[in-house]
């Protein structure tokens, strides 16, 4: 699962007009969302990382289909997960060096989750230099691109995810997050070498199921004691999946529905039933204990949601979608569903 949180520039523009002119109904200023392409085109001149070793990965920043502005210097392709460059198991990356001098000596990784989601999800819809949001006609430049602050690389992993190829049968051999992180370590060394990034400060970021990947990868990196490649300086996990679904989602679900009952907008019968089941399934007690401070120990295991009528998050969100087909359970004050009916987020 992943969370899509971004409100478009469109909403921002409408908001500003509404403040300036309280008596007029603000019409969304669609043109405000279209970037000034001339300025964007003149902005990127140098290609600091272009050399014989990297040129096969160079992306023509002005040549992307549907993108009518220069996305700047970037490199994409696949690299092996170990010392054998011909290993069929490779990871796909898209590397964007920053033009911001303050980004100098660091490299920041972004991973989406899933497991099995391409990190293009984050690049194209959340934090990349250009975004193509659902319900919109074409990509636009992202003024909040993380490349504006740091050197970014988005990677599709584990092997077999997104554009990352795998040898036949290789994916099945990955049994644990440790196995996955070992592959990543091999890839990362090759990446750091290819782009001459050795010694740089490494930051690992990502969302959702990457909340599992990142602690394992960064732990392994720190264990390697090799600051040439694995000089981990920080991690950031967003809406991370750091425990089982029952603990992360089902147990707290009804507390959340109660807190935001004005948004879920469920009727009294449904609310009463959900709260009764919350008691009977043992979630109410579980949350009472789990939320005690200071914690009594590691996060305890929640009651099993596979018991009859205990998958309460599914009940609550299905009920919300039943009365509002545009309800977005990833972002309850946003919307989702058919853009023609619901508009874009």
Ligand X SMILES: *[C@@H]1O[C@H](CO)[C@@H](O)[C@H](O)[C@H]1NC(C)=O
Give the residue from 158, 199, 155, 156 showing the smallest Cα distance to 176: 158
Q: Which of residues 106-145 bind ligand X (CB under 6 A)?
A: 143
> CB of residue 232 vs ligand X: minimum separation in angstroms?
13
Nearer to ligand X, 79 or 159 (CB): 79
Is residue 93 a contact partner of residue 154, using CB atoms and an 8 Å limit?
A: yes
Opening angle at CA 75, ends 225 and 61, nearest 5: 150
Binding mask 74-93 for ligand X (x = CB under 6 A): --------------------
Other Cβ atoms closer than 10 A to 343: 14
Residue 223 sits in the site that holds ligand X (CB under 6 A)? yes
> In the complex, which residue's CB is closest to ligand X?
100
Residue 262 sits in the site that holds ligand X (CB under 6 A)? no
Pairing label, strands 106-111, 90-96: unpaired
Is residue 107 a contact partner of residue 118, using CB atoms and an 8 Å limit?
A: no
Residue 100 sits in the site that holds ligand X (CB under 6 A)? yes
Is residue 184 a contact partner of residue 217, using CB atoms and an 8 Å limit?
A: yes
Nearer to ligand X, 36 or 176 (CB): 36
Is residue 204 a contact partner of residue 215, using CB atoms and an 8 Å limit?
A: no
Q: Which of residues 279-338 bind ligand X (CB under 6 A)?
A: 319, 322-323
Question: According to CB under 6 A, which one of 108, 127, 270, 311 is a site residue for ligand X?
Answer: 270
Question: According to CB under 6 A, which one of 42, 176, 262, 267 is a site residue for ligand X?
Answer: 267
Give the residue from 214, 187, 204 showing the smallest Cα distance to 108: 204
Question: According to CB under 6 A, which one of 34, 224, 284, 290 is a site residue for ligand X?
Answer: 224
Interaction site with ligand X (CB under 6 A):
51, 99-100, 143, 148, 196, 223-225, 267, 269-270, 319, 322-323
């Amino acid at each position: 699962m992943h969370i899509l949180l971004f409100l478009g520039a469109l909403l921002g523009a409408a908001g500003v007009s509404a403040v300036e002119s309280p008596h007029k109904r603000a019409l969304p200023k669609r043109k405000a969302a279209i970037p000034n392409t001339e300025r964007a085109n003149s902005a990127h001149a140098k290609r600091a990382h272009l050399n014989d070793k990297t040129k096969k990965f160079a992306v023509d920043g002005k040549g992307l289909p549907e993108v009518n502005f220069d996305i700047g210097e970037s490199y994409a392709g696949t690299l092996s997960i170990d010392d054998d460059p011909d290993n069929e198991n490779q990871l796909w990356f898209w590397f964007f060096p920053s033009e911001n001098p303050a980004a100098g000596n660091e490299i920041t990784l972004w991973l989406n989750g899933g497991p099995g989601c391409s990190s293009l999800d984050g690049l194209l819809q959340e934090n990349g230099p250009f975004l193509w949001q659902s319900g919109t006609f074409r990509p636009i430049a992202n003024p909040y691109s993380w490349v504006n602050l740091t050197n970014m690389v988005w990677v599709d992993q584990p092997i077999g995810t997104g554009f990352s190829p795998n040898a036949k049968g290789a994916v099945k051999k990955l049994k644990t997050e440790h196995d996955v992180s070992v592959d990543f370590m091999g890839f990362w060394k090759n990446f750091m070498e290819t782009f001459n990034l050795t010694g740089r400060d490494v930051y690992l970021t990502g969302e959702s199921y990457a909340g599992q990947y990142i602690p394992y990868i960064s732990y392994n990196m720190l264990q390697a004691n090799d600051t040439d490649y694995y000089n981990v300086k920080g991690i950031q996990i967003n809406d991370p999946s750091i425990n089982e679904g029952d603990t992360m989602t089902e147990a707290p679900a009804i507390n959340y529905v109660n807190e935001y009952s004005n948004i879920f907008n469920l009727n009294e019968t449904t609310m009463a039933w959900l709260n009764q089941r919350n008691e009977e399934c043992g979630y109410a007690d579980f949350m009472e204990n789990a939320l005690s401070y200071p914690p009594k120990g590691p996060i305890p295991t929640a009651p099993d949601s596979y018991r009859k009528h205990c998958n309460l998050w599914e009940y609550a969100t299905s009920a919300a979608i039943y009365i509002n087909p545009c309800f977005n359970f990833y972002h309850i004050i946003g919307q989702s569903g058919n853009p023609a009916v619901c508009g874009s987020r």
